[in-house]
Amino acid sequence: MAATTAPSAGASEMPFTPENLASERVGPVGVNELQCHLTLLQWFKGLEQGDTAMDFRQLLLAEVRYTQWLQLLVSWQGPPEYLPLPPIDVAYLWHAHMLTPVKYAWDMYRLTGDTRLLAFSLPLHGYNDTYGQTQEHGLLKSGAEYWIQATGLPYHLDPTVEPDCKVACPWCRHKYSCSWDTMIELRTQRSPKATLKCPACDALWNRDTVSGQIFWRDVLWHLEDPDHRFLRGTQYSPVQWSELQSAIEKDHTILFDGLTAATVNERISSWKSCQWHNILREFNEVRYRAKRRRRLRGIRSTTIPNMIRAYREVNGPCSLDLGLAVLRQRSFTQSITSITWSDSESLGIAIQRYKMFMGLMKGKRCRVLVPTLDVDLAWHTHQLFPKQYARYTIFSTGQHINHDDTYSKSRLNTQFALTAKLWLKKYKTPYTASPPKATVWDHLKVTLAAISGLSDSPMARRLSARQQLVPSKKDLKRSGEANDGGGDGGEQPQSGAVGDQ
């Protein structure tokens, strides 16, 4: 491939140096890692099922297996790099989870109460070496032995062996089977109003009520656990990893003050209490009481918004719906694997431009930038090394840069134009001037730095203050559509709490 239409040295702060491009690196990521990542994406592409229903079924089954994998990570005693290769479907979800780095850090921190799980990187080289190989390959063999022995599950996931979806009612624990189509409707955003009615207790399941139940279960878990493990989204700060314990404890104490296991159990046992408009109302009551008691400043501004972000309408085991995250990644996979990256020079340029891209984030909280496809490849690859990625972004920009692929197209277009403008101003070279291929610019994605909740900066506080905790009419309508608009069973908020302003 043609070298580049790079600007001449001196034209930018970080001029391209063609002779060194093949050895360009950012932390653990060099050209070789980008190539291994491209191979892995080819493998992922091969997992996509032509049949949409089978596709979702595979993802839902993989989610259960991924939960087991996380437990294996927690119990792993050896060095992270000696970890056996997980099954490819597990890697598929692990990869998607890592690509939301701040939520990934929330979830990993929550499993152990520290950052040690961030030291596990996705084994790119292992997958590269075994791509297209048979199960006889040493790495696959040892991976399979470890997996089967630890979980009792087959290493290769065959979604066709589960003709029905087995479920247990979250409210009465009644076990029954439903069709995969029904579960898929429930779990995906294809049909947000989809509901399932328990034949035993008549409880209505939908994304709203199930996620509310998960929230209350975690509150109970927090209250009953002698170590007081914490709720999603509250426990990790990108900049103060070690000094947070007392702040987190204080948040939880104020927020759940007065709640007992018995009162929370009441909420858990009623699907109506698990509707988010009721939970939001409880948060507001708590804020009101805290204001009266002048305790409002005792809780970090980010706690309630992040908690809502990590639970509301999230039905899986993590702070985001992993199946949906996998689906969102597919357009990137499609675009990036359709390019022939025939030489290491173009990949080296991608790494160099990625570092320049990060340079635009330095000290700029709440700045949303959109990468080009080559920058995005380097960025994604870097995120597969969570600890090094966190360190790099905190060190070079002052914050743990998040990656958010849920923006609307019009927002992406606006922010892409802004990115190009900032790039030109800083580097004196056009943002889209040195592509390995023109198609590199076709795909847009977005970075979202330190939005509200990721730091306690004044900007984050202002954003949090704007977060509307009172359910809007739209919220109420949405929650009510799945049921009779029913009440909250008469429960009164039990906690004294604080808000975010």
| Footprint on this chain of Zn ion (rule: CB under 5 A) | 169, 171-172, 174, 198, 200-201, 203
Distance CA 468, CA 77 (A): 44
Please, what is the minimum distance in Å from the beta carbon of residue 168 to Zn ion?
9
Please, what is the minimum distance in Å from the beta carbon of residue 178 to Zn ion?
12
φ, ψ dihedrals at 375, nearest 5°: -65, -40
Let me know if 3 is exposed, middle or buried by CB neighbors in 10 A (0-12, 13-18, 19+).
Answer: middle
Contact 465, 414 (CB under 8 A): no
Closest CA to 94 of 58, 133, 65: 65
Query: Which tokens in the block code for residue 394?
Result: 């905190």
Please, what is the minimum distance in Å from the beta carbon of residue 174 to Zn ion?
5
Please, what is the minimum distance in Å from the beta carbon of residue 171 to Zn ion?
5
171 or 423: CB nearest Zn ion:
171
End-to-end, the C-alpha distance of the chain in Å comes to 54
Please, what is the minimum distance in Å from the beta carbon of residue 188 to Zn ion?
22
Please, what is the minimum distance in Å from the beta carbon of residue 268 to Zn ion?
12
What pairs with residue 176 in β-bridges? 167
64 or 200: CB nearest Zn ion:
200
213 or 302: CB nearest Zn ion:
213
Please, what is the minimum distance in Å from the beta carbon of residue 311 to Zn ion?
21
Distance CA 484, CA 486 (A): 5
Distance CA 38, CA 128 (A): 9
What percentage of the chain's residues is helix, strand, coil (to nearest 5)?
55, 5, 40
Please, what is the minimum distance in Å from the beta carbon of residue 324 to Zn ion?
25
CB atoms inside a 10 Å sphere around CB 150: 15
To 10 degrees, what angle do helices 52-75 and 322-337 make? Answer: 110
Please, what is the minimum distance in Å from the beta carbon of residue 85 to Zn ion?
39
Distance CA 386, CA 383 (A): 5
Distance from chain centroid for Cα 175: 30
Distance CA 238, CA 177 (A): 42
174 or 462: CB nearest Zn ion:
174
211 or 495: CB nearest Zn ion:
211
Distance from chain centroid for Cα 279: 23
3 or 172: CB nearest Zn ion:
172
Closest CA to 98 of 114, 75, 119: 119
Please, what is the minimum distance in Å from the beta carbon of residue 205 to Zn ion?
9
SS3 assignment for 141-208 = HHHHHHHHHHHCCCCCCCHHHCCCEEEECCCCCCEEEECHHHHHHHHCCCCCCCCEECCCCCCEECHH
47 or 172: CB nearest Zn ion:
172
Please, what is the minimum distance in Å from the beta carbon of residue 187 to Zn ion?
18
196 or 390: CB nearest Zn ion:
196
174 or 190: CB nearest Zn ion:
174
169 or 446: CB nearest Zn ion:
169
169 or 375: CB nearest Zn ion:
169
Strands 165-168, 175-178: pairing kind: antiparallel
115 or 269: CB nearest Zn ion:
269
Please, what is the minimum distance in Å from the beta carbon of residue 32 to Zn ion?
52
Distance CA 115, CA 241 (A): 8
Let me know if 76 is exposed, middle or buried by CB neighbors in 10 A (0-12, 13-18, 19+).
Answer: middle
